[in-house]
A and B are shown apart, each in its own frame.
Chain A
Amino acid sequence: MKLLSTNNISVKYGSNVVLRDVSLDINEGEITTIVGPNGSGKTTLVKTIIGAVTPFTGSISLTENLRIGYIPQRLSIDYTLPMTVQRFLNLSHKISKEDCISVLRTAGVPDLLKTQMSNLSGGQFQRVLLAGALLGSPQILILDEASQGLDQAGSAAFYQQIESVRNEKGCAVLMISHDLHVVMSASDKVICMNGHICCSGKPEAVANMPEYHGLFAAGTEGTLALYRHIHDHDHDHDHDNLRKFKH
């Protein structure tokens, strides 16, 4: 079932067109990843989908009462604002302590209930945000470079968590990522952007497209090398898709 689609949306900031004719569909339970260089409009596309930016042409259609769980790019909770993890989870819905603990467990951080948000590590913080996003039982999780600030191992573990949440809850995932190896291993569909959609499809297919190589020619080798390094040292993770991709 189709959860949301954008129909030829274009977005301007002032006179500067940052998105041109972007059309995409997100289906139930599907993990879609948007990749692209800096300034290619990835974040703008996500902001448009959640309603923070209005397109000047085109339209967005969501299925009725679509529940969106959103994890922002860089949410730093200022030290000036006191906020325990439990209070944070209660911001938009009133929920019991048990439900807080249970959703934190799903996100992989069950023991942080009373911790101040400003004292969390980067990885813990992203998982608390994930827990917050999961509270409304979202049909789609939207992540805007949610692993920013995490190291390679940390971000790999975080995306693993996302995948296991998807498998457990059956929600669709739309994410922006710079980690090409994560993209290739964990996505059902990859969208390659540079102001417009250059190419899209299954990760294995996109990896062989000339448009993809045009955008990532310089970076790909390094990322794959890094991937092999991670794979050599960590056998707990499921890298089936990546193995396919390597050959």
Chain B
Amino acid sequence: MLDDFMVRASIAGVGVALIAAPLGCFVVWRRMAYFGEATAHAAMLGIAIALSLEIPIFAGTLVAALLMALTVTQLSGRSLATDTLLGLTAHGGLALGLVVASFLSGVRIDLMAYLFGDILAVTRVDLLLILLGFLAVILLMYWRWSKMLISTLNEELAYSNGINPIREKFFLTISLAITVAVSIKVVGLLLISALLIIPAAASRTFSRTPEEMVIITAVVGVISAISGLQFSYLFNTPPGPSIVCVSLAIFLILSSIRPLRSN
């Protein structure tokens, strides 16, 4: 069954959609959209370094995404605003990564595959990495769920409940780095943040609790992945952007059914 590239692509797409669902919700709740994007862009530097050191791409992106997220967390609130810092590290990391990659004369690298994903070329090893990423994120979420939610609501409320919100943010950052690392193959680093945000945004008006929102987000993500792939197969469009377009269409349809209420 795994010999069929479409089957492998579908499994990868569904797996990444499931991983992205809880993270996407947190990104929307905590207003971390740009943080997610910066983490993803900085992964380009990780890819370049992984290629030059001949270590697995997955390891390179994971470390780069993690370092970038931790750097921003450490530096924010000093002399520059967080969004400025994010812009700096995101595009700095992307540019630096592209420059480093250009020095790798011996290897022919397909930049488009990293920037926009190459889901049709997903291998069994990639599937295994997605499975491991899925298990890691789900376990982390299950373990920290209440604590992360309370920290998201209010930091002082967390402290008074004996929860350290800084620690919860760290767990969230790790989960985000894992998500970025496994998603690059599927949608590419330029569209990862769309994969996180759009399904979560689409599900908001239909959920009454945080858990419902995660479940609906997962459903929207899975439908987008499968139909996006089919669309790409039928009309010969790039698969990663097609998945994002389908989730955007779902978002538009759902918001027209029940218009987004203002606060």
Stretch at the interface among A79-87, A95-103, A188-196: A79-87
* Contacting pair B160 A68 (CB below 8 A): yes
Count how many pairs of residues, one from A and one from B, have CB atoms less than 8 Å apart in the complex. 66
Which one of A69, A81, A84, A144 contacts B153 once the chains associate, using CB atoms below 8 Å? A81
Q: Which residues of A have CB within 8 Å of B262?
A: 79
* Contacting pair A72 B208 (CB below 8 A): no
Nearest chain B residue, comparing its CB with the CB of A94: B146
Rounded to whole angstroms, the CA-CA distance of A47 and B208 in the bound complex is 31
Q: Which residues of A have CB within 8 Å of B154?
A: 72, 75
Q: Which residues of A have CB within 8 Å of B146?
A: 91-92
Q: A50-B156, A91-B149 are in contact. Are A79 and B210 (CB under 8 A)?
A: no
Q: A232 at interface (Cβ–Cβ under 8 A)? A: no
Rounded to whole angstroms, the CA-CA distance of A51 and B159 in the bound complex is 6
* Contacting pair B152 A81 (CB below 8 A): yes
Which one of A68, A75, A82, A118 contacts B212 once the chains associate, using CB atoms below 8 Å? A82
Nearest chain B residue, comparing its CB with the CB of A46: B156
* Contacting pair B210 A87 (CB below 8 A): yes
Rounded to whole angstroms, the CA-CA distance of A145 and B160 in the bound complex is 16
Q: A220 at interface (Cβ–Cβ under 8 A)? A: no
CB distance from A51 to the nearest CB of B (A): 5
Q: Which residues of B have CB within 8 Å of A152?
A: none
Q: A52-B159, A87-B210 are in contact. Are A79 and B150 (CB under 8 A)?
A: no
User: B residues 138-162 with Cβ under 8 Å of A?
Assistant: 146, 149-150, 152-157, 159-162
Rounded to whole angstroms, the CA-CA distance of A87 and B263 in the bound complex is 19
* Contacting pair B207 A82 (CB below 8 A): yes
Q: A81-B29, A83-B209, A92-B150 are in contact. Are A50 and B204 (CB under 8 A)?
A: no
Q: A78 at interface (Cβ–Cβ under 8 A)? A: yes
Q: A70 at interface (Cβ–Cβ under 8 A)? A: yes
Q: A81-B210, A91-B150, A92-B150 are in contact. Are A144 and B28 (CB under 8 A)?
A: no
Which one of B31, B156, B207, B261 contacts A70 once the chains associate, using CB atoms below 8 Å? B156
Q: Give the size of the chain B interface in residues (CB under 8 angstroms).
A: 26
Nearest chain A residue, comparing its CB with the CB of B207: A82
CB distance from A16 to the nearest CB of B (A): 15
Rounded to whole angstroms, the CA-CA distance of A92 and B153 in the bound complex is 12
Q: A79-B261, A84-B209 are in contact. Are A52 and B156 (CB under 8 A)?
A: yes
* Contacting pair A50 B153 (CB below 8 A): no
Rounded to whole angstroms, the CA-CA distance of A84 and B219 in the bound complex is 22
Q: A52-B159, A70-B160, A142-B160 are in contact. Are A82 and B208 (CB under 8 A)?
A: yes
Q: A116 at interface (Cβ–Cβ under 8 A)? A: yes
Q: A78-B29, A81-B29 are in contact. Are A47 and B210 (CB under 8 A)?
A: no
Rounded to whole angstroms, the CA-CA distance of A181 and B72 in the bound complex is 45
Which one of A72, A83, A87, A118 contacts B157 once the chains associate, using CB atoms below 8 Å? A72
Q: B86 at interface (Cβ–Cβ under 8 A)? A: no
* Contacting pair B156 A72 (CB below 8 A): yes
User: B residues 145-196 with Cβ under 8 Å of A?
Assistant: 146, 149-150, 152-157, 159-162
Rounded to whole angstroms, the CA-CA distance of A82 and B261 in the bound complex is 12
Q: A77 at interface (Cβ–Cβ under 8 A)? A: yes
User: B residues 56-86 with Cβ under 8 Å of A?
Assistant: none
Q: B213 at interface (Cβ–Cβ under 8 A)? A: yes
Q: Which residues of A have CB within 8 Å of B213?
A: 82
Q: Which residues of B have CB within 8 Å of A84?
A: 208-209
CB distance from B209 to the nearest CB of A (A): 5
> 13 A-B contacts, Cβ less than 8 Å apart?
A47-B156, A52-B155, A52-B160, A70-B157, A70-B160, A72-B154, A80-B31, A82-B207, A83-B209, A83-B210, A87-B208, A92-B150, A92-B161
Besides the known contacts A79-B262, A82-B212, 18 further A-B residue pairs in the complex with CB atoms under 8 A apart = A47-B156, A50-B159, A52-B155, A69-B160, A70-B156, A70-B157, A75-B154, A75-B157, A80-B31, A80-B204, A81-B153, A82-B204, A82-B207, A87-B210, A92-B146, A92-B150, A118-B263, A142-B160
Chain B residues near A (Cβ < 8 Å): 28-29, 31, 146, 149-150, 152-157, 159-162, 204, 207-210, 212-213, 261-263
Chain A residues near B (Cβ < 8 Å): 47, 50-52, 68-70, 72-73, 75, 77-84, 87, 91-92, 114, 116, 118, 142, 144
